[in-house]
Amino acid sequence: MQTFVRFEQLPSYSKLTSQAELLRQQQMKKLFADDNSRFTSFSVKAPNLFLDFSKNLFNADVLGDLLALARDADVETWRSRMFAAEHINASEDRAVMHVALRDRSANPIMIDGKDARPAINAELERMRLLEQKLRSGEWKGYTGKTISDVVSIGIGGSNLGPLMVCEALKAYSDKRFTMHFVSNIDGVQIAEVLGKLNPETTLFVIASKTFTTQETMTNAATAERWFMEAAKDKAAIAKHFVAVSTNRKLVTAFGIAEENIFDMWDWVGGRFSLWSAIGLPIVIDLGFDQFVELLEGAYEMDQHFQSAPLAQNAPMLMALMGIWNRNFLGYPAQALLPYDQCLHRFPAYMQQAEMESNGKSVNWAGEQVNFGTVPLVWGEVGINGQHAFYQMLHQGTDIIPADFIGSIEPTENVPGHHDALMANYFAQTQALMQGIDADQVRQELTAKGVSPARIEEIVEHKVHRGNRPTNSILLQKVSARSLGSLIALYEHKIFVQGIIWRVHSYDQWGVELGKVLAAGIQPELDLARGINPAHDSSTIGLINYYKQLKKKP
> Which residues are catalytically annotated?
356, 387, 515
Say if CB 8 and CB 371 are below 8 A apart: yes
Selected range binding ligand F6P among 150-158, 343-351, 374-382, 398-406, rule: CB under 6 A: 150-158
Calpha distance 467→434 (Å, rounded): 6
Selected range binding ligand F6P among 149-157, 251-259, 393-401, 493-501, rule: CB under 6 A: 149-157
Q: Please report, to the nearest 10 degrees, the dihedral formed by the alpha carbons of residues 336, 341, 345, 349 taken in order.
A: -40
Does 374 contact ligand F6P by CB under 6 A? no
- Applying CB under 6 A, among 208, 290, 327, 386 the residue interacting with ligand F6P is 208
Cβ nearer to ligand F6P, comparing 273 with 290: 273
Selected range binding ligand F6P among 172-180, 209-217, 371-379, 489-497, rule: CB under 6 A: 209-217
- Applying CB under 6 A, among 55, 240, 271, 504 the residue interacting with ligand F6P is 271
507 to 526, contacts with ligand F6P by CB under 6 A?
508, 511
- Applying CB under 6 A, among 59, 158, 363, 497 the residue interacting with ligand F6P is 158
Say if CB 458 and CB 442 are below 8 A apart: no
Does 156 contact ligand F6P by CB under 6 A? yes
**Closest distance to ligand F6P from the beta carbon of 374 (Å):** 15
**Closest distance to ligand F6P from the beta carbon of 422 (Å):** 34
**Closest distance to ligand F6P from the beta carbon of 157 (Å):** 3
**Closest distance to ligand F6P from the beta carbon of 209 (Å):** 4
Q: Which residues contact 224 (CB under 8 A, 6 or more apart)?
A: 237, 241, 254, 255
Calpha distance 424→383 (Å, rounded): 7
Does 321 contact ligand F6P by CB under 6 A? no
Say if CB 289 and CB 169 are below 8 A apart: no
**Closest distance to ligand F6P from the beta carbon of 248 (Å):** 14
**Closest distance to ligand F6P from the beta carbon of 88 (Å):** 17
Calpha distance 18→7 (Å, rounded): 16
Q: Please report, to the nearest 10 degrees, the dihedral formed by the alpha carbons of residues 123, 128, 130, 133 taken in order.
A: -160
Q: Which residues contact 332 (CB under 8 A, 6 or more apart)?
A: 326, 372, 375, 376, 398, 400
**Closest distance to ligand F6P from the beta carbon of 69 (Å):** 29
Percentages of the chain per state (helix, strand, coil), in multiples of 5 = 55, 15, 35
Does 270 contact ligand F6P by CB under 6 A? yes
Does 213 contact ligand F6P by CB under 6 A? yes
Phi then psi dihedrals of residue 140, to 5 deg:
-120, 150
Say if CB 63 and CB 14 are below 8 A apart: no
- Applying CB under 6 A, among 48, 89, 216, 407 the residue interacting with ligand F6P is 216
Give the interface size with ligand F6P as a residue count (CB under 6 A).
Answer: 14
Cβ nearer to ligand F6P, comparing 354 with 356: 356
Nearest to 246 by CA among 119, 348, 354: 119
502: left (phi over 0), alpha (psi -120 to 50) or beta: left
Selected range binding ligand F6P among 111-119, 152-160, 167-175, 448-456, rule: CB under 6 A: 152-160
Q: Tell how far CA 415 is from the center of its chain.
A: 31
Selected range binding ligand F6P among 53-61, 142-150, 208-216, 438-446, rule: CB under 6 A: 208-216
Selected range binding ligand F6P among 153-161, 179-187, 324-332, 459-467, rule: CB under 6 A: 153-161
**Closest distance to ligand F6P from the beta carbon of 109 (Å):** 22
Secondary structure (3-state) at 228 = helix
Say if CB 354 and CB 377 are below 8 A apart: yes
Q: Which residues contact 515 (CB under 8 A, 6 or more apart)?
A: 214
Residues that bind ligand F6P (CB under 6 A): 155-158, 208-210, 213, 216, 270-271, 356, 508, 511
